[in-house]
Amino acid sequence: MASLHALAIPPLIRGMQNIAAILKRAQASDLDVATILTSRVHPTMRPFTFQIKSLTDTATHIPSQINPSLPRSPLPDLEKNSSFDTLLSRIAAAVSHLEVIAPEELNEREDTKVKLRVDRRSWDGDVAYVEYVALEFVQMHAHANFWFHVTTAYNLLRAAGLEIGKPDFLNAAGLKTWEMWNE
């Protein structure tokens, strides 16, 4: 079986590198930045900037939720200065934070309890708690939440007119060449 570190961290780094590469393409395009930054899939959903905030927060909080002795990463604030540069800086800071997490800081913690508070507006202010063991938390909650926000950001950019497709979602950062896939 793969180690907890291998299951938890590399996919997050890869996802952030790919969304950053796509965001750089949007930055180089003639698309309206202000429209993209405030775009939403639905009026009740949060805007594009929130998608980047949430995917980076989720990614950087996973290690400290598994191993509370690990610090949470301070990331650039998006509330005061939202721009593609700020979003890219936040993604880069999140990737840097994860790259220094050593395998031994997460491995052998698969059975560590992770308790999450869940606030749901639709529950009329009710607060619930859900508890996982770390392996289950990574597989069933944390990664699902992370990829939800990555996918939403990707879809907002595509809806804005950026010419991207599934290969960009999977490999926009060019971390694996298509020639390597055939080997």
Q: Is the dihedral of CA 74, 153, 103, 99 positive or negative?
A: negative
Mean pLDDT of 120-130: 68
- Ordered by where they begin, the domains of the chain are 4-181 (1.20.120.450)
Whether 126 shows a pLDDT value over 90: the answer reads no
Query: What pLDDT sits at residue 170?
Result: 87
Where does residue 26 fall: left (phi above 0), alpha (psi -120 to 50 degrees), or beta otherwise? alpha
Whether 49 shows a pLDDT value over 80: the answer reads yes
HSE, side-chain direction, 13 A CA sphere, residue 13: 15
The residue with tokens 């990555």 is 150
CA–CA distance, 12 with 20 (Å, rounded to integer): 12
In the DSSP assignment, the letter for residue 121 is: G
Distance of CA 39 to the CA centre of its chain: 18
Query: What pLDDT sits at residue 178?
Result: 52
Whether 91 shows a pLDDT value over 60: the answer reads yes
Helix (H, G, I), strand (E, B) or coil at 124: coil
Say whether pTM exceeds 0.85.
yes
Neighbours of 121 (CB within 10 A): 8
Tokens of 54: 């949430």
Whether 130 shows a pLDDT value over 90: the answer reads no
* pLDDT tens-digit series, residues 134-175: 999 999 999 999 999 999 999 999 999 999 988 888 888 777
